[in-house]
Amino acid sequence: MQLDEETVRRVAFLARLKLDEEEVEKYRRELESILESFHVLNEAKVDGLEPAFQPIPVKNVFRRDDVGESVPQDLALSNTKNREGGFFKGPKVMD
Amino acid sequence: MTKVQPLREFIQDVRAGNVDEEEFLHSVMEACSKLDEEYEPFITLRNVEEVLEEGRGLLKTKGKMPLVPFSVKDNICTAGVRTTAGSKILHDYIPFFDATCVKALKDEGAVLIGKTATDEFGFGTFCTNCAFCTPKNPHDKSRVCGGSSGGAACITALASFPHVAIAESTGGSIACPASFCGVFGFTPTYGVVSRYGLVDYANSLDKIGLMAKYIDDIMLAFEFISRRDERDSTCVGLDKEDHDITLERITLGIPKEFVEAVTDEKVLKTFQSFVKKLEGNGVNIVQVSIPSVKYALAAYYIVATAEASTNLAKFCGMRYGYEKNPEGKHYNEYFSEVRSEGFGEEAKRRILLGTFARMAGYRDAYYLRALKVRTLVIREFEKALKNADFLLAPTMPVLPPRFEDVKEMSPAEVYAMDVLTVPANFAGLPHISLPCGSVAGLPVGVQLMGRHFSDWKMLSLAKIMEEAELTHSF
């Protein structure tokens, strides 16, 4: 299949990846060749088959609805410098 | 390489009071540090003092693995010990909890020695996509260890002390490096080992498993990590089983599509002479066919990258990991900046591929079709396994390549290297890679693949093969 640069830019935006022009062309070329090698899938006879979202039948794993220990706030915050007053600090979400 | 004591012998020695804990752990850490300089199996090797502190009193533990050194692939969380998943985006992440499998071994008295090298988030076949180090093949330093659990296989092959490695496989990340480094690499049935504490790559494919120099070492540790866990909704666990196996009563099926996919003649020859040895020992060999193997690789990469692209959305420069000052920045700009700087080249490639496969207009043609192919692959495996106890095939189509050759490969060519390990992984089937011979000193591996939940029987068979000296020891 043909993949154009516009599609690569759109995908990159959806994935929140900033690509420069050179990267856009590089990934366009590589993805095109990878997708090309995936063409074989069109030959597979899968009509009437259910998609296997999991390889084995998965049942719910239940536990008792008991109050347990929670992560202490200082530990939860221990992996970031971006914190303030016991909260995580993030970028602006509204203009 | 050096003859190493099997774990059960070592444990007996510990129980008998023949091991000085401090001296032992000191020598282990010293050996690791020397090996690390030369071969780079570790992203993080633990501080000696910390290890000694943890080892104190373990001689008296009631646990069943007292003082046994174990390593953990660096995409599995370890309390207080940096866990990077091989990525710059987690370069300074220190979990405050242990993954369930890590806790299980610690509870038995085992001692964590370090975190082993992995391709970034498990994205690779050669362990050359790690942001911190590149492990070198123990049998030839100019060659790769295989990936993504390359560090685990590397230290398992090199360790001159009793040791077991916790590794992880999504599409072949245990079998491939085990084969390239000449050790045993076991990937359990999907859902048997809890994934709690694993840095997810692809939830419907990720399996935590083990590597060791002896099958019995794997059996010992497997019992403790294969328990149900309420923290992983897909974890079903598995009870230990004892199997009395005689080679004369075993039928192994060789899928012809696997054999046809082997590109290196010498690998094929080594495999064939291994099959002859098995036959000579009474194993019944039959030919089977899994035609959908030709679709499995493409379908696997679509499912794996689709799941990876959603899993990796959480890495955005907040709460943990690589971060910048978010002040004054719009969230789209901040997240994009952090992710572009924090992810490596292969991670970006797979995020793009997976995002594309899930996009409106493409989802049915790629993602859903791939999941239907998985149903087909599982059915064909089930059918082939009606005529055989287990399937047998070479683990990798080539010998471990040189670093310089890997650099010349295109991404599609690298993905194609997984052709033999992907089918069992995609179908969630238990499999184990065994060293079966060597070509000019380089290891060749074969894999046994079995029905879902036939893990214990498969391990028992592998053990019999090892005891009959059918497998190769380096």
Residue A15 lies in a domain: yes
Tell me if B234 and A15 make a contact (CB, 8 A cut-off): no
Distance, in Å, from the CA atom of B421 to the CA atom of B175, rounded to the nearest integer, reads: 7
Tell me if A41 and B295 make a contact (CB, 8 A cut-off): yes
Residue A54 lies in a domain: no
Helix (H) or strand (E) holding B212: strand B207-212
**Among residues 14-73 of chain A, which lie with CB inside 8 Å of chain B?**
14-19, 23, 27, 30-31, 33-34, 36-41, 43-46, 49-56, 58-63, 71
DSSP symbol at B444: E
Torsion angles phi and psi, residue B94, rounded to 5 = -115, 105
> DSSP for B354-403?
HHHHHSTTTTIIIIIHHHHHHHHHHHHHHHHTTS-SEEEEES-SSPPPBH
Residues B256-275: b if buried by 16+ CB within 10 A, e if exposed: ebbbebbeeebbbebbeebb
Among B331, B359, B378, whose Cβ lies nearest the Cβ of A55? B378
**Neighbour-count burial of B364, counting CB atoms closer than 10 A to its CB (0-12 exposed, 13-18 middle, 19+ buried):** exposed
Residue A35 lies in a domain: yes
Contacts of residue B453, defined as CB under 8 A and 6 or more positions apart, other chains included, come to B189, B192, B238, B430
Q: pLDDT of B170-221, one tens digit each?
A: 999 999 999 999 999 999 999 999 999 999 999 999 999 999 999 999 999 9
Domain of residue A26, CATH code: 1.10.20
- Tokens at B4, concatenated: 């190493």
Residues of chain B with pLDDT under 50: none
Domain that holds residue A35: 1-43
The alpha carbon of residue B370 is apart from the nearest alpha carbon of chain A, in Å, by: 8
Q: Say yes or no: domain B1-474 is CATH 2.60.40.10.
A: no
Residue A16 lies in a domain: yes
Give chain A's domain count. 1
Residues of B that are catalytic: 73, 148, 173
pLDDT confidence tier of residue A77, bands split at 50, 70 and 90: very high
Whole-number pLDDT of residue A58: 79
Residue A65 lies in a domain: no
Q: Give Dmax (Cα) for chain A.
A: 58
Residue A66 lies in a domain: no
Q: pLDDT of B300-337, one tens digit each?
A: 999 999 999 999 999 999 999 999 999 999 999 999 99
Sign of the Cα pseudo-torsion (B68, B39, B35, B346, in order)? negative
pLDDT confidence tier of residue A64, bands split at 50, 70 and 90: confident
Question: B82 in contact with A at a CB cutoff of 8 Å?
Answer: no
Distance, in Å, from the CA atom of A22 to the CA atom of A20, rounded to the nearest integer, reads: 6
Peptide bond into B148 cis (omega under 30): yes
Among A18, A45, A80, whose Cβ lies nearest the Cβ of B323? A80
- What ipTM describes this predicted complex? 0.95
Residue A21 C-beta-side C-alpha neighbours within 13 Å: 0
Distance, in Å, from the CA atom of B156 to the CA atom of B114, rounded to the nearest integer, reads: 12
Residue B253 C-beta-side C-alpha neighbours within 13 Å: 21
